[in-house]
Amino acid sequence: MIVEYNNIKNGTDDVAKYLGLDPAKTIFLHSTSFNENDDDNIKRKAINKGRMIYSEILSYSSNKVNGSKSAISYFNEQLLDKLDVMGVIRKDNIIKVTNSNNLDFPYNSVSTMLNKKVKEDAEFRNSIKGFNIVSSYLGKEDEETANLIEGTILMDIKEQEKFNSKYEFRKLSEKYGFKMPHGVTIRGLDELEIKLDLLKKMNSQYNDIWIKLESQSSGKGNIKIERFRTIPIEQIKKEVMDVAQKIYEEEYILKEMPLIAEYDVKTPLYEEVANIGVEAVITKDKITILGGAEQATRNGEYIGSKITEDTYKYLNIAQEIAKEAFVAVGKEGYIGFMTIDVLVTKNNETNELEAYNIDPNARFSAGTMLLKNIHTSEDYNKKKMYGLSFSNAIPKTENIITSIIDWIGEDLYSKENNYTGIIPALVNDLNPIAENKYYLKSVVVANSYKEAEEKFEKFKDKVKKNCR
């Protein structure tokens, strides 16, 4: 299988190209959830549910004439206008799959909304006849939509499911030998004691383990057990059960629920230096590795993405370790976009680096929005660029987009700023996260990571003054 290295300076247009598709005949969806009323597949249930699915895909959508299309379920019209003027997107490449901004469809996937629009709007249905549907998670509705428009999806949806599975990923590692932390697969809590006994025999240098559920988001569903050899098995079972009961019925948890348990490879000798989401496009005969963004976490939960000077220092080993897993996934028949989380550690005595494949995400990731805009800036500036993608609360104002742009001020991302600055990538002005406060996710691109942090902190300081 051919392995190439490239970038996504043109966002979804480049993804389509690497997939062998015509961008002008391709619709992309950032769809990480499913309509639970219609989808009875228990593997798709999510532990961390939001009220609405927002349009993260905007930040890496096409800004080209007649470029690839992106379907979005919720939008602020003024934000779309501003991103168009900034050159981040072209509005005529955006497909709005709702007619109004309301809460009629809480926690519905954009796939659900696109499917509904195709069924109800004959003119729209005919306008996308023969298009390719590329979704983060392929579901029944994507398949039905493709059939209705006489188009295509990338692969059989039942075959695609296993490539988001931590359980199946570890099975693939056993088959192909790509590197992961020592660990075991578990089928149901009734197997936990036997499998943890096996894990204890694998290696004596590690003290802590992670037990991971299949259905999770941003680290919720990962359970850390410190000094697990000393913890009674019933206590460990209870900790897992407490989390699993938020999603599943007890019988399924005990008998069928897939889990993995693996050693935490951070020790007094080895410290974690980076957790990098390496991104790639996979086809039947080629892997296109796109680079990666480092995950920022707090207590094991994802809080943002960053590309720092250190990220580039550790990116090569992360990509090489992920490459083995990408090739294995490709040989097993996966076609599409994939992110593999790679943990990089350093030996404190020798400075030797070790890297491990941790988790598969057969979809666009939260790091994609940062990576695309970094690549755009690098192409323009002909040098390495740096940045971050973090969230913060913003106060309710009469015109929230105008306020955000005013607070960003001279640091607004633009061609005049050499494609650096702050992009207000995702705004939730529908559901307050606290009284009179809303959610903003920003991408910051700069000449150094310190500069990116300074721009973001200056922006947050202006926001805080208006929150009083």
Total count of domains within the chain: 3
Judge if 142 and 207 occupy the same domain. no
Query: What's residue 409's pLDDT?
Result: 96
**What is the per-residue pLDDT for 42?**
52
* Together in a domain, 40 and 134: yes
Q: Which of 234, 263, 292 is the last residue of a domain?
A: 263
What's the chain's length in residues?
468
List, for the chain, all residue ranges whose pLDDT scores fall below the cut of 50: 38-40, 47, 51-52, 103, 105-107
pLDDT at 175: 97
Residues 246 and 275 grouped into a single domain: no
292 and 393 share one domain = yes
pLDDT for position 326:
98
Residue 15 counted as domain residue = no
Q: Are 12 and 71 in contact (CB under 8 A)?
A: no
pTM equals 0.93
Phi first, then psi: give them for residue 217, nearest 5 degrees.
-150, 130
State whether 303 and 237 are in the same domain. no
276 and 297 share a domain?
yes
| Domain end residue (candidates: 233, 263, 293) | 263
Question: Which secondary structure element, helix H or strand E, spans residue 191, and what is its range?
Answer: none
Residue 163 falls within a domain, yes or no? no
Q: Which SS3 state, helix, strand or coil, does residue 355 take?
A: strand
pLDDT for the residue numbered 435? 85
Q: How far, in Å, CA of 338 to CA of 360, rounded?
A: 7
Q: Burial of 79 by CB count in 10 Å (0-12 exposed, 13-18 middle, 19+ buried)?
A: buried
* Pairwise CA distance, residues 271 & 214, whole Å: 26
CB 323 within 8 A of CB 338: no
Residue 358: closest CA among 427, 300, 306: 300
Examine the domain organization and report whether 256 and 289 are in the same domain. no
**One domain, residues 137 and 216:** no
Give the residue among 38, 57, 138 at the shortest CA–CA distance from 95: 57
The terminus-to-terminus CA distance of the chain in angstroms comes to: 57
CB-based contacts of 249: which residues, under 8 Å, 6+ apart?
none
CATH number of 223's domain: 3.30.1490.20
In tens, the pLDDT along 343-373 reads 999 999 999 999 999 999 998 988 999 999 9
At residue 177, the pLDDT reads 97
Q: Give the domain-ending residue among 214, 241, 263.
A: 263
**Burial (CB count within 10 angstroms: exposed 0-12, middle 13-18, buried 19+), residue 297:** middle
Domain span at 394: 270-467
**Pair (430, 298) in one structural domain:** yes
pLDDT digits (tens, 9 = 90+) for 71-100: 988 778 899 999 999 999 999 999 998 755
Q: Would residue 92 count as lying in a domain?
A: yes
CA 240 to CA 222: how far, in whole Å? Answer: 9
Cα separation, 272 vs 259, whole angstroms: 24
Residues 377 and 440 in one domain: yes
- Identify the CA nearest to 28 among candidates 341, 337, 362, 371: 337
Contacts of 141 (CB under 8 A, 6+ apart): 35, 38, 109, 111, 112, 114, 115
Q: What is the pLDDT of residue 39?
A: 45
**Same domain, yes or no: 52 and 187:** no
Is residue 13 situated within a structural domain?
no
